[in-house]
């Protein structure tokens, strides 16, 4: 029953979300294809993706139309993966942040793929990394309270036949978070 538990669990996953998760992801273009203008645009957008294109154009010495074309091309190529708003978890009462190390019983492709699908489909899992070095996965989970977090740990780990063990580290303070990538020149 290889983690078929994954999508059977009551995780409030809608059919549309499941379809989106099953869609193949577009691979980003090679960094070699980004020129200095593209990189300058990306640096500005990472700071504030609502920056007006005319302001970006002035900053990088291009026309507004050229900036618009470059942004559209980077979106189409998957270089710009999404335009999102970063929400303060405390403002929406998501007060529990946990970093979880997960060890699977084995690293067979079927188990790893099932675990990846389960973690992707769980809205409270903010980040998921398939790793080496003694653990199979490292997750960042944000939950509204300890009761919901306990329910998640039971569903995702304790009652999951793929999971051998897990260890939760509850964050005391969110010292630094963000998604900015350092873009080399």
Highest mean pLDDT among 7-16, 105-114, 174-183: 105-114
Top-level class of domain 88-170 = alpha beta
Least Cα distance to 70 among 95, 40, 100 occurs for 40
Work out the average pLDDT over 131-153.
Answer: 96
Percentage, residues of the chain above pLDDT 90: 74
Per-residue model confidence as pLDDT tens digits over 109-122: 999 999 999 999 99
The 3-class SS string of 15-84 reads HHHHHHHHCCCCCCCCHHHCCHHHHHHHHHHHHCCCCCHHHHHHHHCCCHHHHHHHHHHHHHHCCCCCCC
Top-level class of domain 31-77 = mainly alpha
Tell me, yes or no, if the pTM score tops 0.85: no
Which contiguous run of DSSP H or E holds residue 111? Answer: helix 109-120
Percentage, residues of the chain above pLDDT 70: 83
User: What are the domain boundaries of the chain?
Assistant: 31-77, 88-170
């Amino acid at each position: 029953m290889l983690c078929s538990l994954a999508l059977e669990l009551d995780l409030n996953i809608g059919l549309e979300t499941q379809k989106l998760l099953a869609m193949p992801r577009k691979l980003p273009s090679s960094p070699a294809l980004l020129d200095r203008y593209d990189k300058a645009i990306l640096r500005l957008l990472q700071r504030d993706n609502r920056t007006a294109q005319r302001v970006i154009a002035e900053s990088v010495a291009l026309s507004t139309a050229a900036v618009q074309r470059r942004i559209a091309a980077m979106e189409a190529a998957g270089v710009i993966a999404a335009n999102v708003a970063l929400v303060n978890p405390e403002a929406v009462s998501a007060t529990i942040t946990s970093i979880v190390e997960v060890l699977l019983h084995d690293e067979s492709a079927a188990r790893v793929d099932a675990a990846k699908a389960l973690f992707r489909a769980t809205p409270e899992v903010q980040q998921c990394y398939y790793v080496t070095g003694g653990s199979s996965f490292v997750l960042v989970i944000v939950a509204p309270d300890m009761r919901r977090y306990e329910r998640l740990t039971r569903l995702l780990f304790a009652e999951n036949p793929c999971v051998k063990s897990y260890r939760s580290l509850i964050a005391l303070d969110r010292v630094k978070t963000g998604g900015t990538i350092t873009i080399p020149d």
